[in-house]
Amino acid sequence: MTDSWATPAGPEDGPGRGTEPEPVGGAGPGTAFGADLHLELRGSGLRAGLMDALREAVRTGRLTPGTRLPSSRSLAADLGIARNTVADAYAELVAEGWLTARQGSGTRVARRAAPRRPAPPAPRTPRIGRRPVHNLLPGFPDLAAFPRAQWLTAARRALTSAPSEAFGYSDARGRIELRTVLADYLARARGVYADPERIVICSGFAHGLMLMATVLLARRVRTTAVESYGLDVHWKILTRAGMRMSVLALDEHGARTEELADAKGAGAVLMTPAHQFPTGAALHPDRRAAAVDWARGTGGLILEDDYDGEFRYDRQPVGALQGLDPERVVYFGTASKSLTPGLRLGWMVLPQELVGEVMAAKGEVDWVSSALDQLTLAEFIASGAYDRHVRSMRLRYRKRRDQLVAALADRDPAFGVTGIAAGLHAVVELPPGTERSVVEAAAWQGLALNGRADFRHPSAQPDGDALVVGYGAPTDSAWAGALDALCRVLP
């Protein structure tokens, strides 16, 4: 087998041993001239093998109609065969109709009918409902509100000032520019003790949790406590890593952290103390202290998911739990709610003793997070644009939550909204036995909606019927329609 990557070439002999002058104005659209061409030659005859390889590339659509091929001289040099062999192969394929050769245009793939490809499988038809028109799922920000112009400005400044080494392999902890501004921001806005040397950049909370699961297993931790309601994707990460789970009950004051004393063998606890997901409770100060006391007394770790801590509407946001004991709490934050999940940027603030272990789990080089995106986010935060964006979105989401509460009160005062005024979702209590029917009715109306039961851990006890209504995702123009659709499906 011979592999070839064709290289750019100037005007020279073509398949008929004439000339192939460079076309005026360049190679034109739909061309691969000057680009690499990969061919695999098989069989005993070089010319026959080359012809078969080219036919197969055209037949499968890898070489599309109109694509310009390398000159005979360039391809022959690449393949290490005689130029006449390539010229003869080109000439025969022209005669067969696979290729065309014209003065001034070089040798190109003939413009024949597009190759037939297998038809894609028919999409599965959902059992109920139709394609959602409105997205009221929790955890989604308003993607249309992403500050494109300000981000572009930050990207230009970051690229202009970036050192050349930023375009190489970066420190596995992440760019020092981002870790430095994050340390300042998190201390100022979330009360986190965040020395840059303790910060590790990751591609989101799930990635960070995977790294911590690896570290915990290396420490012989086999059980992690979790809240009785949360995201199954996080539980699956722990389960796939080989972890067992001990479930903490929830009430209006958050997780019942006193139950940690009975969580036999638990070496860590995963929590959302600032705004429990999805129930919306804030962890009571006494329970925050109890969690830290448990960690200190047992040598355990608290994994704090501060997924939307910046968005508190009824008061100043409560500081992160990490501030109570930076050596026993692993703090996780991301840009997924404040900016967009598409950035795939998150951060971990680690106890000093864990930094090396997390680095070992992550690897010697940062193979996940784009250095250029990190530099842009660093500039975005340092310039004040991040603070301005968060304040703007805080006002927008607060208005939507207020409108949701008012619309439900007009519909029926019995539909109470529970949990603190924070984040991108609210919990709407329902009459007993109605949750599943409301969710199914919403699907029929093209409304993407979750019930509270969708987030219950399999071993947890049910906690009454309710909806978890996300008000972050709809655009401003779609929000009123989404709210009306929600009110129509309520019992």
Residues of the chain with pLDDT under 50: 1-33, 113, 122-128
Residues 200 and 66 in one domain: no
Q: Token pair of 444, please?
A: 């029929």
CB–CB of 379/157 below 8 Å? Answer: yes
Whether residue 419 lies inside any domain: the answer is yes
CB–CB of 313/401 below 8 Å? Answer: yes
Nearest to 484 by CA among 423, 418, 408, 431: 408
> What does the pLDDT read at residue 473?
96
Nearest to 381 by CA among 149, 200, 143, 154: 154
Nearest to 210 by CA among 183, 179, 186, 233: 233
Whether residue 117 lies inside any domain: the answer is no
Whether residue 428 lies inside any domain: the answer is yes
Residues 162 and 104 in one domain: no
pTM of the model: 0.80
Rounded CA separation 364/381 (Å): 27
> What does the pLDDT read at residue 18?
39
Whether residue 80 lies inside any domain: the answer is yes
Nearest to 311 by CA among 379, 400, 230, 408: 400
Whether residue 154 lies inside any domain: the answer is yes
Q: Where are the extended beta strands (E) located within 152-256?
A: 199-202, 223-227, 244-248, 250-251, 254-255
Residues 138 and 184 in one domain: no
> What does the pLDDT read at residue 205?
96
Residue type, 112: R
Alpha helix stretches (DSSP H) within 324-384: 355-362, 371-382
Q: Tell me which long-range contacts 131-134 makes (C-beta under 8 A, separation of at least 24).
A: 131/446, 132/443, 132/446, 132/447, 132/448, 133/445, 133/446, 133/447, 133/481, 133/485, 134/446, 134/447, 134/448, 134/474, 134/478, 134/481, 134/482, 134/485, 134/486
Residues 435 and 371 in one domain: no
> What does the pLDDT read at residue 264?
86
> What does the pLDDT read at residue 45?
82
> What does the pLDDT read at residue 289?
96
Q: For 96-130, b where at least 16 C-beta lie within 10 A, e where not — what string?
A: eebbbbeeebbbbbeeeeeeeeeeeeeeeeeeebe
Residues 92 and 193 in one domain: no
Domain boundary among 353, 384, 415: 384
Whether residue 114 lies inside any domain: the answer is no
Q: Token pair of 292, please?
A: 């830290």
Q: What is the CATH number of the domain that holds 404?
A: 3.90.1150.10
Residues 366 and 300 in one domain: yes
Residues 162 and 304 in one domain: yes
> What does the pLDDT read at residue 104?
75
Domain that holds residue 436: 134-142+388-489
Q: What is the CATH number of the domain that holds 340?
A: 3.40.640.10
Rounded CA separation 400/284 (Å): 26
Residues 222 and 271 in one domain: yes
Q: Token pair of 124, please?
A: 């599965």
Domain boundary among 61, 93, 109: 109
> What does the pLDDT read at residue 11?
34
Q: Token pair of 257, please?
A: 């952290």
Whether residue 123 lies inside any domain: the answer is no
Q: What is the CATH number of the domain that holds 39?
A: 1.10.10.10
Residues 9 and 100 in one domain: yes
Residues 226 and 337 in one domain: yes
Residues 442 and 362 in one domain: no
Whether residue 119 lies inside any domain: the answer is no
Strand partners of residue 445:
none
Quote the number of domains for the chain: 3
Residues 324 and 408 in one domain: no
> What does the pLDDT read at residue 13?
38
Tell me the three state secondary structure of residue 462. Answer: coil
Domain boundary among 384, 419, 437: 384
